[in-house]
Structure 1
Amino acid sequence: MPIDVDEVQRREAIAQATLAIAARDGARAVTIRAVAKELGGSTAMVTNYVPTRTALITNAVRAAESRWRTDLEAHLGDLTGADRLRATVEWHLSTEPEDLLLRTLWVEMLSTAHIDPAGVDHEEPRESRQEFLEASLAAGVPDAALAADILSLLTRGYYVSTMEEPAHWTPERAGRVARAVVDALMAETPARHG
């Protein structure tokens, strides 16, 4: 008789094992075989849920994303208008250790996009742009769609920059850039406070 396994729980266990390996040994060490070993089972217990290395990494990134949404909402609280827009951008520019780890996995995931496009997470960047769009609209930014695109490029570029020059891109420096960009976007906004 086959063992009844909860798919959501198994995918979460696979994600946690993937993150543990990446934190301990680096993103390059993440393989299906390594994750199976971390879980104490065969590769089939992994490949039944995530068939490729890219899917394995994407699974870990997506597991973190579900926590990000809750964290973002808690960070924003009752903020409105320009304050909410600034806080949204600053949240995306965090440098918590888990964020840095996930960025290394994100780059690994993207590096295989040309050979495994279905394995790459396309939902999260769309959700982030939507968050920027909604915050820009609520702040009264004149061209909210352009602002969402600019902020998306800013944050994605920041992710790469924190891996290239982690000592240079301190939270203070990133926050200063974020405030300058948001202030520039707000410059054409009719005099409103919020």
Structure 2
Amino acid sequence: MPAKTDHEARRRDVSAAVWRVLAAAGFGGLTLRAVAAEMGATTGLVTHYFPSKKALIVHALELAESHTRELVPATDGVHGLEALRQALAAVLPLSPEGTEINRVWVSSWDAALADPELHALEKARYKRWRSRLHPLVVEAQTDGSLPPGDPADLVAGLAAFTHGLVVQALFDPRAFSHKRLAALLDTHLDALRPTGSVQ
């Protein structure tokens, strides 16, 4: 029987292969056979860790969320609107890694809309994202950088705006360059400032 460390190392190898397949072919190309081929292994080895395609997809979504969190900068010492801006910018495809992660997420939507379990996982993921943005919006409202009102509505609007930029940039990266994406986000946040607030 393989040692626990060997088992964990092999699982990490399978996870890395899952991510490479996702990055290259999206969720439509994610199969047990494709992951095995990427590893130069048998499908039996892959099914030892992920017994079905559903298990593989659930793991892939977990990987995507983990990779996304790694892109979010620490906000120690950053507050209010600037902390919110950094959190939103981390979601945009402003780097090769960010672009790769967003391509994976967008490719997952079809599967998530069609499958109740995956749908529930995606719904929960969006709820977690909004929960992370919520205190940043409240802080910006408290210091006068954002208008008063229901912070949940502001969070929903900002999340929708940011993901709208993501989709447009994925389909037309030349028109939505990294510089333009950052500028559009800044312009949108500035437009939300109450009249007379300090820049």
TM-score when scaled to structure 2? 0.77
Rounded to whole Å, the distance in 2 between the matches of 1:151 and 1:58 is: 27
Give the fraction of aligned pairs with identical amino acids, expressed as a percent: 26
The answer to whether structure 1 residue 182 and structure 2 residue 197 are counterparts is: no
The 5-angstrom pairing of residues 16-165 of structure 1 reads 16-23=16-23, 25-27=24-26, 28-53=28-53, 55-74=55-74, 76-120=75-119, 121-122=121-122, 123-140=124-141, 141=146, 142=148, 143-165=150-172
- Judged with a 3 Å threshold, the aligned counterparts in structure 2 of structure 1 residues 14 and 118 are, in CA distance, closer, same or farther, namely farther
Higher RCO structure (Cα 8 Å, ≥6 apart): 1
Deviations 1:23-55 (A, max 9, x none): 4x4324332101022233332333344344454
| Distance change >3 Å, CA 44–CA 178, structure 1 → 2 | same
- CA RMSD across the alignment: 2.8
In the alignment, is residue 171 of structure 1 matched against residue 178 of structure 2? yes
Q: 1:109 to 1:67 in 2, by over 3 A?
A: closer
Question: Are the structure 2 counterparts of residues 108 and 86 from structure 1 closer, same or farther at C-alpha, using a change threshold of 3 Å?
Answer: closer
Q: CA deviation at 1:56?
A: 2.7
Cα distance per residue 1:129-164 (max 9 Å; x no partner): 112211101111323211110111122222222221
TM-score for the superposition, normalised by structure 1: 0.79
CA pair 55-177 structure 1, distance change in 2 beyond 3 A: farther
Counterpart of 1:178 in structure 2: which amino acid? L
Query: Which segment drifts farther, 165-174 or 27-36?
Result: 27-36
The 8 Å contact of residues 93 and 166 in structure 2, kept in 1 or not, is answered as no
1:12–1:153 distance in 2 versus 1, CA, 3 Å: farther
Are residues 9 and 157 of structure 1, via their aligned partners in 2, closer, same or farther at CA, if it must alter by over 3 Å?
Answer: farther
Distance (Å, rounded) in 2 between the aligned partners of 1:54 and 1:159: 26
Q: Is the 8 A contact 1:90 1:178 kept in 2?
A: yes
Counterpart Cα distance in 1 of 2:113 and 2:73 = 33
Query: Does the 8 A contact of 1:18 with 1:57 survive in 2?
Result: no
Q: Deviations over 1:60-107 (max 9, x none)?
A: 342243343344243x34211111112222222232212222222222
Q: 1:29 to 1:10 in 2, by over 3 A?
A: same
SS at match of 2:112: coil
Q: Which runs of no fewer than 5 residues in structure 1 stay unpaired? A: none
Q: How many residue pairs end up in the alignment?
A: 189
